[in-house]
Amino acid sequence: MPITPPPSGFHGPVKRSVTIAGHPTSISLEPIFWHALEDAAAARALPLNALIAEIDALRIRADDPPNLASALRSWLFAEKAASNSQ
C-alpha cells in the first residue's frame, strides 16, 4: 500500500487559549487534533474546555504525567483505536 500525504496536507501546530479550572492556558496542537477534540466534545455534549479539563484531570493522576498537548493526542489516539475495535 503506498504512503500518501493526508488529504488536507500537512499542517503545523496551532496555539489556542483554553480555560481549565478557572486558569487560562495555551495549547499547541495540529488542526487535525483540534478538529478531533471538537468532535469528541460534541459527541459528549460538552464544551471543548470541559473535555480538555477532564482529560487534564486524568493526566494529572498519571504516575508520570506528560504535558497536556501530549496527553490530548494520546487520549484522542486511544479513543480512535477504541472506536475502530467496536
Residue 86, pLDDT > 80, answer: no
Mean pLDDT of 70-83: 92
Residue 26 has a pLDDT of 96
Percent pLDDT > 70 in the chain is 100
In this predicted model, what pLDDT tens digit does every residue of 16-51 receive, in sequence order?
999 998 999 999 999 999 999 999 999 999 999 999
Return the biggest CA–CA distance within the chain. Answer: 47
Residues 6+ apart with CB under 8 A from 34: 14, 16
